[in-house]
A and B are shown apart, each in its own frame.
Chain A
């Protein structure tokens, strides 16, 4: 059962990643792209965790937590750049 659920979830998030990438390439605005990138980070985290569950190891979970911690910082930086130009005022 869990196998099937995992396969389904992996498929969904993979599809999500592809759609993110689609938005990322097309835009049209910078906000679209930044948002797409941020969502893509989250999707990638989800994929990693799902893969960890599939493999039965905690290593992926830990890596995912760390990526989550620093991953959003670049989103913040992109946003500040768009909104204020200077990211450290």
Chain B
């Protein structure tokens, strides 16, 4: 059995893997592309054929792999009769559609994309019918919604295609949401998400008080997917898709998913009055309304779409009856509907393809012009009408038989009469398809001269047509076993009801109903012209307009909510955040008193006090002068200096180094940006508002200060004790800060350098967009010439920075190397080197410096992340988890013994990422100036004394 289990897995994933092929193979031509799209389908079909005998013998093949057992989610599949039927349909029709689409799609259509979407969809559908876990089923369910969205909207240039796709996604997607709720309730009732367990627990489910909510939610999912009234409106709009998509999605697969789900859940949910009244009634209404609308549709595909709606209603009604026999009939009709409806869709596609119109009123007389198409279309349509000798007749007859003895709310007549009306209308529209398209005089005003298509295009429908006839004549021999095994799976074991698949059942009520339907249908068609006028004169609700209005209303509601909450004013967010935080802090603190003070206040020397006063005053003055942006920036320099000095004084030289480097780089960034921004901030809010904001800011600041003060006076056990104790022994470094960065919290650092790199790249990208956007024009017209020094690149500065460069690089290298044990590390080293480079940029200008810069900053970021990542993964080679670091001591004479830690390589990654990100940010910002039309220099300085020396030499 193991082989069979594996095979089931492979079947389930084959379409997904196969989906990758056509997109690539399109480069080798259209025929190759189609072959590679067909290959995975054929493969899956062959594997299914291998499993078929086993399933037909009544076995259920199961395969399970735990995925997220904590959530009850496992990747488990099973194949029983119902699954076999649907999988066969999905793959078989899929194969025919792939062949058909090869000829249908025009050379302008991106065929590789089409087949990729189609196979994705095929995989999702296959997943639904094979899942043994309802959570897995839900995932595949959503996947069908998404992939069908891509397929329906395949012709992106058509607005109807896009709108139809959106509507289909909105309707089926929201149904899917409801279904998630229903399935979760179901899983909760049973205590397992395994479908086999749920199907076995039908009685528990039906007895539960949660039965009705679960039922309604699940049915919402099934009804939206299967286009049941009142959710039927999306299906006709989805007809904007290419015809192969319509034929596939709307005959065999997508819309059948809802029917499949009802059939699948039948043992667990069916048989109650609630089920009967909800499902059977919805099905009945859908059947009649769908058939009625179909009769008056002039678009061939719209006619077929509404007839599909009607037939789906029929299937839903049969499942809704809740009797075992009705369920078996439903299974039989699923097969029959598939064969004739796929044929008809493909026929409609052929007619559209050859005559360039689908308007029935513009067609007629095609019998002589397209004989092959005529035969195929007529046979399928007769089957749809329920004419004897074709398969549609058999299941329709059985349906009428079932309907004839169904009692609806005490009435013995309601269901039979409405079912007959449905059948009658179905005869009428089927014959309309035949008579109005193929019969009648040959016209001379077709948009294109009709003729039969190439073999490849009619081959697929022809094959299905043969099935229609063969099943119609020899039902028991051809599909009898399949119906039996699938029917058994639907009713969930137990005794199969008696039924027989044959043409002549004797004189039964169903026969009379059939005769009434056929005669009535033909009469209706004879009166079609006046009825059509009447139909068009009557007011009808327009589903699309209602849907659009609903969507617009929802959108405006959510916009109102969003805009109320999300105004875009950061001052508002900050004030809410600060007030809420302070309030929560006060509430938390009010209940308890502080523990006693355990630490002495440290002495405050005079110098420190002065520093503190300067710091506080500077912060205060930023508040008053922040409208003059440059002055505020200079003042921020003071704050940075005082904080750095404070760090040094409080024995945190690492922080001081980082602070002063970050400070410098930030100020340069701000100055670069400020050049293109207004130099003053306008007053935008009222005085009262500013006072309020000031008070809030003050409360926030004082609150944080008070809390810090309270903590500093008490001994609180913190995480740093652990770090202090283990830095040397665990990480091999005495610089605890660095060991934390590269070892203890290496994962965090790894994430942070990635974020930093991403930020650098985003600034680059945003700048790119800015320079190509509307702001670019304003930039070009900016005037920079006022009040400028003529000395662009002063000699003094150039020489000084050149001299400083090697020293700075040396210091950077030194800081980097000693980082593990002494203050320093990759981060600070990266900042120091970037400051050294920036000095060159400032001194000799961008172009001159850039010409001497050999390494791309983008690449530097990438290499940094790669090196850090590789260092982390290297640990795997030694069987340790990601980012485990190691260290050792080495001695190579004549050098003294030294330590090497793997964290060093990680730190190198940090160094490169920081250097690259900082330089890329500054590079991006300084690009604006050149874009705005500033010239660049190629000389290192404005006045170059060496030139003068050369001149003097020449004079000599």
Contact = CB atoms under 8 A, between A and B. Distances in A.
Interface of A: 10-11, 13-14, 17-18, 21, 24-25, 27, 30, 33-34, 37, 40-41, 44, 47-48, 51, 59-60, 62-64, 66-67, 69-71, 73-74, 76-78, 80-89
A70 B668 contact: no
Contacts of B929: 86, 88-89
B663 interface: yes
A71 B613 CA distance: 21
Nearest to B624: A25
B936 A89 contact: yes
B661 A44 contact: no
- Which secondary structure dominates chain B's binding surface? helix
Interface string B632-667: 011101100110110011010100110011011001
A8 B792 CA distance: 43
Given A63-B653, A86-B675, A81 B614 contact: no
A63 B648 contact: yes
Contacts of B808: 69
Nearest to B840: A88
B607 A51 contact: yes
Given A40-B641, A77-B667, A81-B630, A89 B607 contact: no
Nearest to B923: A88
B423 interface: no
Given A11-B606, A59-B653, A81-B675, A89 B845 contact: yes
A86 B789 CA distance: 11
17 contacts: A30-B631, A37-B634, A44-B645, A47-B607, A59-B653, A67-B656, A74-B637, A76-B797, A76-B839, A80-B671, A84-B789, A85-B784, A86-B672, A86-B934, A87-B842, A87-B926, A89-B936
B498 to A, nearest CB: 90
A25 to B, nearest CB: 6
Q: Which 10 pairs from chain A and chain B are nearest by CB? A: A83-B789, A88-B926, A14-B610, A86-B929, A88-B841, A63-B648, A81-B671, A89-B845, A33-B634, A63-B653
Contacts of A18: 610, 613-614
B331 interface: no
Nearest to B631: A33
A41 B614 CA distance: 13
B675 A73 contact: no
A85 B634 contact: no
Given A70-B661, A76-B797, A89 B934 contact: yes
Contacts of B674: 81
A67 B644 contact: yes
A41 B663 CA distance: 13
Nearest to A13: B607
Contacts of A81: 630, 671, 674-675
A48 B651 CA distance: 12
A73 B839 contact: yes
Contacts of A10: 606-607
Interface in B903-956: 922, 926, 929, 934, 936-937
Contact of B617 (A14, A21, A59): A21
Given A66-B660, A69-B807, 10 more contacts: A10-B606, A24-B634, A37-B638, A59-B823, A66-B811, A73-B839, A74-B667, A81-B630, A83-B788, A88-B672
Given A69-B808, A73-B835, A86-B784, A78 B641 contact: no
Contacts of B841: 88
B211 interface: no
B926 A86 contact: yes
A30 B832 CA distance: 27
A80 B641 contact: no
Nearest to A34: B634
Nearest to B661: A70
A76 to B, nearest CB: 6
A88 B845 contact: yes
B886 interface: no
A59 B613 CA distance: 25
Contact of A30 (B630, B645, B926, B936): B630
B671 A78 contact: yes
B863 interface: no
Contacts of B617: 21, 25
Contacts of A59: 651, 653, 823
B846 interface: yes
Contacts of A70: 660-661, 664, 832, 835
Contacts of B196: none
Contacts of B788: 83-85
A60 B638 CA distance: 19
Interface centre among A10, A33, A64 (most CB of B within 10 A): A33
A47 B845 CA distance: 35
Contacts of A41: 641
Contacts of B660: 66-67, 70-71
Interface string B790-808: 0111000100000010011
A37 to B, nearest CB: 5
A13 B644 CA distance: 17
B621 interface: yes
B668 A77 contact: yes
A86 B815 CA distance: 31
Contacts of A37: 634, 637-638, 641
B755 to A, nearest CB: 24
Interface in B606-631: 606-607, 610-611, 613-614, 617-618, 621, 630-631
B284 interface: no
Nearest to B647: A63
Of listed A10, A67, A69, A77, residue having the most chain B CB within 10 A: A77
B214 interface: no
B79 interface: no
A40 to B, nearest CB: 6
Contact of A14 (B607, B642, B656, B839): B607
B838 interface: yes
Interface in B820-878: 823, 832, 835, 838-839, 841-842, 845-846
A63 to B, nearest CB: 5
B645 A47 contact: yes
Interface string B778-794: 00000010001101110
Contacts of B823: 59, 62-63
Contacts of B934: 86, 89
B839 A85 contact: no
B614 A21 contact: yes
A80 B668 CA distance: 10
A44 B465 CA distance: 93
A66 to B, nearest CB: 6
Contacts of A88: 672, 838, 841-842, 845-846, 922, 926, 929
Contacts of A74: 637, 663-664, 667-668
Residue of B635, B644, B937 ringed by the most chain A CB atoms within 10 A: B644
B389 to A, nearest CB: 86
A63 B645 CA distance: 9
A77 to B, nearest CB: 5
Contacts of A64: 648
B842 A77 contact: yes
Interface in B751-798: 784, 788-789, 791-793, 797
B671 A14 contact: no
A76 B842 contact: yes
Contact of B634 (A14, A48, A67, A78): A78
B630 to A, nearest CB: 6
A22 B11 CA distance: 80
Contacts of B653: 59, 62-63
Nearest to A44: B645
A30 to B, nearest CB: 6
A21 B637 contact: no
B672 A87 contact: yes
A7 B223 CA distance: 88
Interface string B10-22: 0000000000000
Nearest to A80: B842
